[in-house]
Amino acid sequence: MSCALSRPVYWFLHLWVLAYCVVLLAALVVQFGLGELPCPLCMLQRYGMFLSTLGPVWIILDSNRGDLTLQRYQQGLGLAALGALLGAVVAARQIALHVLPGDPGYGTPFLGLHLYSWAFLTFLTVLVAVSGLLILSPVTVSVMDRGPAGAPSPRLSQAVLGLFILLLVANAIMIVFLEGFAWMLPDDPVGYNLLAPTGTP
C-alpha cells in the first residue's frame, strides 16, 4: 500500500534535513574559519547527525518518486530516532567529560553553550520530532493504492537533498586530510595528519 504525506509533514522533513545541513555547515565554518579542529567525539556527533538525517532523506526520496509506503515512512523515522540516540549518547559523553567546575570545555562556546551541548539538544529535538510524527501519522499520512508521483517543488527538494549529499562528500574528503594514514583521530588534534603526520595511532 502506498501512502502520501500531508504537505506540512513533507516540508517539515525538508526543514529537518536543511536544519542539520546548517548545523553541519556551521561545524565546517568553525573548523576552517576559526581553525578549531574537531576531536574524535565531535566527529562521532557529526556521524550521528548524518546517520539520523538519512531517515528523512529516504522518506523524501520515496515520496518524490511516488513509492512511499507506510512501512518505509515508519522505517525512515526509526532510523532517524536510532541515529539521534547514538549521537545523543556521544554528546552526553563529551558533556560529562567537561562537567567538572573550572573545566573550560572543548572549543569556543556559541550562545553560552559548547557545540557538543548544542548537538545534544538537536538530537533530543529529533527524538521529540520523531515521536510527534509517529503520534500524528494517522492524520498526516494517508494510505492509498498508489502514491502521488512527483515532488510539489522538485527543484527545492533536490536542492535540500543535494546540499546534504554535498556535506557528506565534503566531510569524507576532509576526514581523509584530518586522519591521514592513522587508524583513528588523535584525542586532541593539532593539524591535518595527511599534510603533516603527527605520529598518532
Partner 1 sequence: MDIIILLVLLLTAGLMLARAPRNAVLAAWLVSACLIAGLFHQHATSILPLSF
Residues that bind partner 1 (CB under 8 A): 40-41, 43-44, 47-48, 50-51, 54, 57-58, 61, 65, 67, 72, 75, 79, 82-83, 86, 89-90, 93, 164-165, 168-169, 171-172, 175-176, 178-179, 183-185, 187
Nearer of residues 86 and 113 to partner 1, judged by Cβ? 86
- Amino acid identity of residue 169, one-letter, is V
Nearer of residues 4 and 185 to partner 1, judged by Cβ? 185
Nearer of residues 1 and 67 to partner 1, judged by Cβ? 67
Minimum Å gap between C-beta 159 and partner 1 is: 15
Minimum Å gap between C-beta 112 and partner 1 is: 26
Nearer of residues 135 and 188 to partner 1, judged by Cβ? 188
> Is residue 106 a contact partner of residue 94, using CB atoms and an 8 Å limit?
yes
Q: CA-to-CA distance for 201 and 196, rounded, in angstroms?
A: 14
Nearer of residues 138 and 201 to partner 1, judged by Cβ? 201
Of 15, 36, 16, nearest to 26 (Cα)? Answer: 36
Minimum Å gap between C-beta 74 and partner 1 is: 12
Nearer of residues 8 and 102 to partner 1, judged by Cβ? 102
Q: Nine-digit cell at 175?
A: 576526514
Minimum Å gap between C-beta 175 and partner 1 is: 5
Minimum Å gap between C-beta 37 and partner 1 is: 13
Distance between alpha carbon 63 and the CA centroid of its chain, in Å?
20
Asked whether the CA dihedral 68, 47, 89, 99 is positive or negative, the reply is negative
Minimum Å gap between C-beta 83 and partner 1 is: 7
